[in-house]
Structure 1
Amino acid sequence: MGNELVLVTGGSGFLGAHCIARLLRDGYRVRTTVRSLNRQADVLALLRRAGVDPDGRLTFAAATLTDDAGWPAAMDGAAFVLHTASPFPAVQPKDPDELIVPARDGALRALAAAREAGVRRVVLTSSFAAIGYGGPVPDRPYTEEDWTDPGAPVSPYVKSKTLAERAAWDFIAGAGGMDLAVVNPVGIFGPVLGPKLSSSIELVQRFMTGGFPAVPKVSTGVVDVRDVAELHVLAMAAPAASGQRFLASAGDAMSLPAIGRVLHDRLGTAAAKVPTRVMPDVVVRIAALFNKQLAEDVVPRLGKVKHLSNAKARELLGWQPRSNEDAVAATAESLLELGLV
C-alpha cells in the first residue's frame, strides 16, 4: 500500500509531524492539513529536523476543525486519514464548550468529509483521557475496554476527548462502508522537532531547568511519539485494527521521581538541575492551599497509580514500543540539542 495517499490532519503538531515522517519513510504519499498555507515552511522544518526529505511526496491543504471549507479538497484521492488534529489548551478554559465543540465537531467534520471522498479507513487520535477518568481507579491495569465518564467532575480537556471519541464511534456505526480505528495515547514524550512544546515535553523541560524544588509522588503514563506514529500506521494498514481502539503506552505508569532518576542516569552533568528530593504528600497538600495548579492537578493524583496495559496493540498489531526510560531520555536529549533547556 506504500504509494497510496494518506491525509494527516494537523501536520504542524508534535504527533502530526512525526506521523508524516513515518509515512514518508514507509513510502506513502502524504497530504496534510494546516490552518493556513503559510504554515508549510514550519512543517517542512519539522521534517528536516526528523531527518526526512519529502522528495515531492508531500502536499498541503488548508482546513480547520471549525469550518467545512477545505475539507473536500483535503480528502480528495486519499485512501486513509490519520486525524491527529485536536485542540489542546495551555490552560483549561472556564467554558468547557471552548474545547468540546471544536474537538467533537472537528472529528465529525473530518469523518463526514472522509466518507464523501471514499476514504477506506480513518485512524482517530483520541487519548487516555477518554479511558481513565471520572471513576474510581480499578485494582487492575486500564485497557481499551474502559471509558471515562464525561458526566463526572472531569476537566474540560478530558471531557472533550471523551465526547469526541464517542461521537466518532456513533458516526461510524451509522455511516457504513468506512472503517474507524482509534489510538488512545498516554502522555506523549520523545524527540522534539521544534520550539512549540506539548505539556508532557514541558514537564521534562521543567525538570531539566530546575523548575521543581522537589517532585511529588505522582505518576504519569509515558509513550514515545515515534511509537505513537508507528501505531497509527499499523492501525491504518492492518485488517485486524478495523473497529478497534488501542491504548498507546510504553509500559506501566512512571512516577515523577523515577523520571528524575532516569534523567540523572542518562544525561549526567546535563541533568545537574534535575531535582532529587521527593516532596512528602503532606507538604504537597499544604502548598496546594496556596497554589491552584497543585490543588487541581497534583493533589487528586497523590497515592493513585493508574496502571496501564498495552497488550492489545502488542498482540493484535505486533507493536513494540520503546521503554519509558528511552522515551524520557530522548525527550531531554532533543531539548538539549535544540537549545530549549
Structure 2
Amino acid sequence: MGSIAAPAETVCVTGASGFIASWIVKFLLESGYNVKGTVRNPENAKHLLKLPGADDRLQLIAADICTPNVFDSIFEGCDGVFHTSTPTPGAYDAASMSEAGYIETAVKGTLNVLESCAKLKRPLKRLVLTSSMAAVHFSKKLTPDSVIDETFFSDPEVIRNLPFLGEDFKSYVLSKTYAEKAAWDFVEEHKNLNMVSINPVMVMGPTLQGTVNSTNSFPLDFLSGELKTIPNAVRGWIGVKDCAMAHILAYEKPEAHGRYIVSESTLHFADLATVLRKLFPNYQVEAREDVSKPRAPMYAVSTQRVKELGLVVEPLEDVLKDTVECFISLGRLKPYKSLELNGI
C-alpha cells in the first residue's frame, strides 16, 4: 500500500468498531485525519482507542443509525463521511431479525445518514457508502458468460428465488440491495451530495476487534476441522486492508464516482480449501466436496474501475497467512510450532 496524503480534514466513520471500519479508522488516523467514529456501544470500540493517533484525533460517539436526526450535529464540521454501519449475519441483533427487519434497519439507517449529510450548511467533499457485491451480483443481466461489473444491480426477485441462499444471508443480500438503491435514489434528488459506493466481495484478513467476523469464519472453520462439507458455491475474496484502502482512495481521488467492485480473486469453496491445505499442511482441513452434485459455476468479475483509482491488492495467499496468524494470536487456532512438536 502506498502512502496517502495527510490533509487536515475531519471525517466521520459510522459503525466505526466494525471489521472493515476499524481498518478504515486506523488508516485515516495514520494519514493525519481527525476522525469521529459513531458506535452503538462504546464498550465494543475500545480497540480503536489503542490505535496510533487516537488520543489526539479520534472521538467516539454513541449513536444508533435508526434514530432520526442523530447525525445532524455529529456531521457538523466534517469534510467527509464513511457510512459502513449495517446489520450483518452474526452481528447487531441480526440473528433475531426478520427479512423486513433487516431491510428496514439498513434502509432507514442509510437514509438517516444521507438526510443529515444533505442538511449540512457546508457540503461534504464526499460520502463513501460501504455497500456489497451482494447488491451487484444477483442481477437479471447475469448469464454464464457475463463479466460482472458495476452496471449490474441485484434484483430482489432474483434474490428471493435463489434456492442456495440461507434465509439469514438472503435477508442480508436484500438489505444491502435495497439500502444502496435507496441511497442512489436519494443522491439523485439531492444534487449537493457527492457519493461513491464500495462494493466488496467476501472480506477476509486480520481483525483489530479481537473477534472473528462472519466472512473470516470460513477459513477458520476449514482449518479447525469444524467444517465437514465444502459449500457448493463460488465467492469473490478480498483482504480487509485493501477493502479499507479502497474506501480511502474513493474519498481522496477527485475523479472517483459511482460504484467500485473490490475483489482479488474468485474461487469455489473447494478451491479455497485446496489453497488452505497447501499453505497450512499442519492443519487438518477435513471438509470434503459432495461430488454427487455438479459444481456451482465460476463467474468473472471486473475490477478495472478500482484499479484506476490506484488500488493494488495483496495476493490472497498473503491475506490468508496474515489471517491465520491473527487466529493464532486470538487463541482460535494452535500455533504451527505446537502442531509440529505434537506430531499433528
TM-score normalised to the size of structure 1? 0.85
Distance across 2 between alignment mates of 1:93 and 1:133: 25
Separation of aligned partners in 2, 1:337 and 1:40: 19
The residue that corresponds to 2:54 in the other structure is: 54
Number of matched pairs: 313
Match of 2:300 among 300, 307, 319: 307
C-alpha distance in 1 between matches for 2:14 and 2:97: 27
Of the candidates 211, 217, 223, which is equivalent to residue 196 of structure 1? 211
- Offset from partner CA, 1:25-48 (integer Å, 9 cap, x none): 111111100113444424325x4x
Q: Equivalent of 1:263, from 262, 271, 276?
A: 276
More deviation, 174-183/91-100:
91-100
User: Secondary structure at the residue paired with 2:61?
Assistant: strand
Q: Does 1:30 align with 2:35?
A: yes
Say which is worse superposed, 23-32 or 215-224, in terms of deviation.
215-224
- What RMSD, in angstroms, separates the aligned Cα atoms of the two structures? 2.1
Q: Deviations over 1:251-281 (max 9, x none)?
A: 3x11222222322333342xx2223743314
Provide the residue aligned with 1:249 in structure 2.
263
Which runs of no fewer than 5 residues in structure 1 stay unpaired? Answer: 283-298
Matches within 5 A, 1:105-184: 105-117=108-120, 118-133=123-138, 135=140, 136-154=142-160, 155-184=170-199
Q: How far did 1:162 drift? A: 0.7
Give the Å deviation of 1:303.
2.1
**Larger fraction in helix:** 1
Provide the secondary structure at the position in 2 that maps to 1:222: strand
Change (3 A) 1:94 1:138: farther
1:18 partner letter: W
Query: Are 1:207 and 2:218 an aligned pair?
Result: no
8 Å CA contact 2:22–2:209 kept in 1: the answer is: no
Percent identity of equivalent pairs: 30
In the TM superposition, 1:84-95 aligns within 5 A as 84-90=84-90, 95=98
Structure 2 unaligned spans of 5+: 1-5, 161-169, 334-344
Taking the TM superposition and a 5 Å limit, the aligned residue runs for 1:88-103 are 88-90=88-90, 95-103=98-106
Match of 1:278 in 2: 289
Report if the CA contact (8 A) 1:222-1:327 is conserved. no
